[in-house]
Amino acid sequence: MSGERDVSFDPKEHQHLRYNPLRDSWVLVSAHRMKRPWAGQVEKPPEEHIPRYDPKNPLCPGNTRANGKVNPDYDSTFLFENDFPALQPDAPDPGVDQHPLFQTRAARGICKVMCFHPWSDVTLPLMKKQEVVKVVDKWVEILEELGATYPWVQIFENKGAMMGCSNPHPHCQVWASNFLPNEPALSDRCQRNYFEKHGEPLLLEYARQEAERKDRVVVENFAWLAVVPYWATWPYQTLLLPRRHVLRLTDLTTEEREGLADIMKQLLTKYDNLFEVSFPYSMGWHGAPTGPHLKEDNSHWQLHAHYYPPLLRSATVKKFMVGYEMLAQEQRDLTPEQVTQMFPQKFIYF
Ligand SMILES: O=C1CCN([C@@H]2O[C@H](COP(=O)(O)O)[C@@H](O)[C@H]2O)C(=O)N1
């Protein structure tokens, strides 16, 4: 393998590997596979008519939740402790097994649910920009509060029944843990290694490069840009990046928070226009670890958000991360550059 590019190589036609520097792993890109016939599973299209208020929905204002608590008649964001938490502040310690192959650790934390809006029939792209700014402000507030003690606060949104979202009301979840979960721990190692080798944050250089190269930029504004990452695994995966070096959501200026609300509305509107459905995804924020790490040097970190949508070729055909992806490595059919071109250039958003 000479390392020289073969003049006949065409990434849209010829399989190749791409390196994901945030996970130290390789993705197999086989764009030509998109042409294969599909007789596999077809999902139900996303539920179109969702009532603005459902007296039975435990996330709606004034309604009673599973544990008997009554929600306030909230008119903006609303945060409550998850009634079915995966992590609780206190739990008996599992003890330590001396055998290296049977290790256990105590897991403690707190799980919250955050409603974005009182209405069930809106999504972030359909909310007014100022209402989305309130969501960003609440994320910052939660991170400030839980990040004071917990080393990791995972803000994440499962959107759409296809992504296992159990309730159509616009909301996200926040799980704070007394441990650094696998994905942020891997990302921390990768960003630290890059910083030690190159002297600057990996994702700051990456954002500069993508802003210059342009062929994977989905949408950008003065403070942010959203790209289909060069190493994207999920077909329509995007990465949301600040242009400035920012460690955590709590470090954003007021203008950057407004810019974030703007770029999220633009990105999510483009997603909704892809297949003309309310686009399903799981998204989450990764910033420098918190709690005891607040007093450490985390200059290798750059705040960013991952959007992982499940769809492959239409509103009802999903990408399945099975078989080769589980046993060998991640594989994708379209190139990130082809996907970038599929996002509508012209779109209306308010
Ligand atoms: O009465 C309820 C209903 C749902 N929930 C919680 O709301 C969360 C909804 O989030 P998901 O749609 O991402 O599953 C879910 O974790 C569920 O446990 C309550 O805490 N109380």
Active-site annotation holder among 117, 171, 286, 300: 171
Ligand 1: lining residues by beta carbon, under 6 Å: 58, 65-66, 82-84, 113, 158, 165-167, 173
- Report domain extents, the chain: 63-91+105-177, 182-342
pLDDT at 347: 67
Identify the three-state secondary structure at position 129: helix
Ligand 1 centre and the CA of 7: distance in Å? 53
Give the model's pLDDT for residue 33: 73
As a three-state string, the secondary structure of the chain is CCCCCCCCCCCCCCCEEEEECCCCEEEEECHHHHHCCCCCCCCCCCCCCCCCCCCCCCCCCCCECCCCCECCCCCCCEEEECCCCCCCCCCCCCCCCCCCCCCCCCCCEEEEEEECCCCCCCCHHHCCHHHHHHHHHHHHHHHHHHHCCCCEEEEEEEECHHHCCCCCCCEEEEEEECCCCHHHHHHHHHHHHHHHHHCCCHHHHHHHHHHHHCCCEEEECCCEEEECCCCCCCCCCEEEEECCCCCCHHHCCHHHHHHHHHHHHHHHHHHHHHCCCCCCEEEEEECCCCHHHHHCCCCCCCCEEEEECCECCCCCCECCCCCHHHHCCCEECCCHHHHHHHCCCCCCCC
For a ligand 1 pocket test, name from 56, 111, 113 the mutation site with the most ligand atoms within 8 angstroms of its C-beta.
113
In one letter, which amino acid is 56? K
CA torsion sign, 131 to 139 to 221 to 31?
A: negative
Active site residue 171: yes
What ipTM goes with this model? 0.96
Atom of ligand 1 nearest to the CA of 167: 12
- Residue of 288, 327, 315, 297 whose CA lies nearest to 147: 288
Strand-by-strand arrangement of the 331-332 sheet = 16-20, 25-29, 331-332
Query: Distance between alpha carbon 89 and the CA centroid of its chain, in Å?
Result: 25
Whether 63-91+105-177 shares its CATH topology with 182-342 is answered: yes
| 182-342: CATH number | 3.30.428.10
Token pair 């294969």: residue? 36
Q: Report which ligand 1 atom has the smallest distance to the Cα of 65.
A: 1
CATH superfamily of 63-91+105-177: HIT-like (3.30.428.10)
Dihedral sign for Cα atoms in the order 128, 258, 235, 335? positive
Query: What ligand 1 atom has the least distance to the C-alpha of 83?
Result: 20
Residues making up the binding site for UDP-alpha-D-glucose? 33-36, 66, 82-83, 158, 164-166, 173, 319-320, 324-325, 331
CA distance 346 to 296: 44
- Per-residue pLDDT 10s for the chain (350 aa) are 567 889 899 999 999 999 999 999 999 999 877 667 777 787 777 677 899 999 999 999 999 999 999 999 999 999 999 999 999 999 899 998 889 999 999 999 999 999 999 999 999 999 999 999 999 999 999 999 999 999 999 999 999 988 888 899 999 999 999 999 999 999 999 999 999 999 999 999 999 999 999 999 999 999 999 999 999 999 999 999 999 999 999 999 999 999 999 999 999 999 999 999 999 999 999 999 999 999 999 999 999 999 999 998 888 888 889 999 999 999 998 999 999 999 987 766 66
Q: What is the pLDDT of residue 314?
A: 87
pLDDT at 349: 66
Distance 323 CA to ligand 1 centre (A): 31
